[in-house]
Amino acid sequence: MILSMTGYGTVSLQREGAALGVEVRTVNHRFLDVHIRLSREYGFLETEIVQLVRDTLRRGRVDVNVTVQAACAPASLVNLDTARSYLDVAARLKDEFHLADTIDLKTLILLPGVLENQGNGAADAAAADAYLREFVLEGVRDSLKTVLQMREREGKALESEMRVHLEGMRQKIAALRGLMPSIVVEYRQKLEERLQYLLPQVSVDPQRLAQEVALLSERSDISEEITRLESHVGQYAGVLDHGREAGKKLDFLLQEMQREVNTVLSKTGHLEVTRLGIALKADVEKLREQVQNVE
């Protein structure tokens, strides 16, 4: 089964006085583009969160938002000297540049070095970090599972629609192949009619006419393009059967299909061939729209 690149998962966990919220959103992107949002004090977890995402998903923009709330915040000490330095600098800037505002309390306490945690020893800090790590990673794993399930559902729907378009393309390509014998006959008839119109008093050499028809038939022969189109459609279905990481392969096959259809349209002006070629181009464009969201 192919996977969509659209997914959403959210998890809320509570454990021993701590609350965790994880939200993961994914949308289409050419590559895997991971963005993590979490508080600065938990920044040491970012690398492992990114690795979890990479182990689960292959393509798409992935936004991970992690919030952790503890029932008892760690005790903090105020570094008055650092806070005073910030305020002095803010006051000088205000006077120097005639600014209307100054630094407020909420901004002040968030500045580096103003609040200092009261540690209970290196061992306690390491244990707390290890506990927090498992807590957060568990929430991220659960959210990614939900995202993957949604991407599978979306992928199933995309695959179903694409197979409908593929079947329509098979029918149109078969119709093109069926037209090939009659195209030569029509060329001969049109050429004879034109010659009789332009040169009504001159008899047409049958051998010369046959040579001209053969030359025109060779120039407008679309049998190779039809064969390649049949092959591309078969390969496309095979990639769908294979499943994961199909998006780039499908996009390449669509480029090749587009090239073959354009060649068919440029080789012959036959009315029915043109109609079928335009319809095939529309099918390719519909498939291209859907492939943009395939992982």
| CA 150 – CA 238 distance, rounded (Å) | 23
CATH of the domain at 178: 1.20.140
DSSP string, 115-184: EEE----HHHHHHHHHHHHHHHHHHHHHHHHHHHHHHHHHHHHHHHHHHHHHHHHHHHHHHHHHHHHHHH
Distance separating alpha carbons of residues 255 and 123, to the nearest angstrom: 59
Same domain, 149 and 160: no
pLDDT at site 176: 93
> Based on the domain organization, do 143 and 247 belong to the same domain?
no
Is position 35 within any domain? yes
Query: Are 57 and 189 found together in one domain?
Result: no
Residue 136 belongs to a domain? yes
Residue that finishes a domain, picked among 115, 142, 172: 115
* Cα separation, 48 vs 15, whole angstroms: 21
Asked if residue 239 and residue 135 are part of one domain, the reply reads: no
124 and 241 in a single domain? The answer is no
90 with 193, same domain?
no
- Residues 135 and 160 placed together within one structural domain of the fold: no
Cα–Cα distance, 83 to 111 (Å, whole number): 8
Is residue 192 in some structural domain? Answer: yes
* 87 & 70 share domain: no
Looking at the structure, do residues 59 and 91 belong to the same domain, yes or no?
A: no
- Same domain for 134 and 20, yes or no, is yes
End-to-end CA distance of the chain: 11
Q: Does 284 reside within a domain? A: yes
Q: Is the pTM of this model over 0.75?
A: no
d(CA 115, CA 77) in angstroms, rounded, equals 6
Whether residue 2 lies inside any domain: the answer is no
Q: Looking at residue 226, what is its pLDDT?
A: 94
Question: Do 179 and 241 sit in the same domain of this protein?
Answer: yes
**Contact at 8 Å (CB) between 57 and 32?**
yes
Q: How far is CA 81 from CA 1, 78, 96, 168, 192, in A?
A: 61, 9, 22, 76, 102
Give the pLDDT confidence of 81-101 residue by residue, as tens digits: 888 888 888 888 888 877 777
Quote the domain boundaries for residue 102. Answer: 77-115
| Token pair of 155 as six digits | 């992928």
| Counted domains in the chain | 3
- Decide if 169 is inside a domain: yes
Q: Which residues of the chain have pLDDT under 70?
A: 17, 70-76, 116-128, 184-185, 187-220
How do residues 233-270 score in pLDDT, each as one tens digit? 999 999 999 877 899 999 999 999 999 999 999 887 78
Q: Are both 107 and 129 inside the same structural domain? A: no
Predicted local distance difference test score (pLDDT) of residue 179: 86
